Amino acid sequence: MAEKGDCLASVYGYDLGGRFTDFQPLGFGVNGLVLSAVDSRACRKVAVKKIALSDARSMKHALREIKIIRRLDHDNIVKVYEVLGPKGSDLQGELFKFSVAYIVQEYMQTDLAHLLEQGTLTEEHAKLFMYQLLRGLKYIHSANVLHRDLKPANIFISTEDLVLKIGDFGLARIVDQHYSHKEDVPELERPS
């Protein structure tokens, strides 16, 4: 079974070494393909987003997304565990040397779009999800970030405990008078 998933990863050009196994398709983000996998080192299921770094524009978008997701840490935001290069190598601030980056993040069982396709939510579920969505948005906005692609497919839900998390920050922007999106220097370190 794991061999089938590993073959799938090869078809999509995933090159993360032997640490990740049992790849399954999850969907497409704004800037890349997303597969689920099992992280053998951390003993957990994760979502892995592959971002191609083919030109200056894709590099700029990837740097922006990485900087933003590392800035956010909240119960209603998908957690990012790490950002890796080819063969699962650590980027160590040297994203410019690679043609691809992998964002390893928290795995969520479904998204709001799939949940809504199954039928109408109960009033209790709608209230619970709306509360969590607004809570996450308040945090994002307090961090001076605008998501800019908030839709049911980017709102993820854990079916085990009904926790909602906002994800896919590929189109997000920082709104800060002291920040310029034209900066070319990558800042891959998590702020203190």
Bridge partners (DSSP) of residue 48 are: 35, 104
Identity of residue 187? E
- Annotated catalytic residue within 15, 73, 111, 149: 149
**Cα–Cα distance measured from residue 81 to residue 71, given in angstroms and rounded to the nearest whole number:** 12
Query: Which amino acid is residue 148, in one-letter code?
Result: R
Give the residue among 25, 7, 13, 80 at the shortest CA–CA distance from 51: 13
In sequence order, what are the beta bridge partners of 46? 37, 106
- Considering just the CA atoms, what is the radius of gyration of the chain in Å? 17
Q: Which parts of the chain are beta strand (E)?
A: 20-28, 32-39, 44-52, 80-84, 100-106, 110-111, 145-146, 155-158, 163-166, 173-174
149 is catalytic: yes
Q: Residue 83 carries which DSSP code?
A: E
CB neighbour class for 66 (10 Å; exposed up to 12, middle 13-18, buried from 19): buried
Catalytic residues: 149
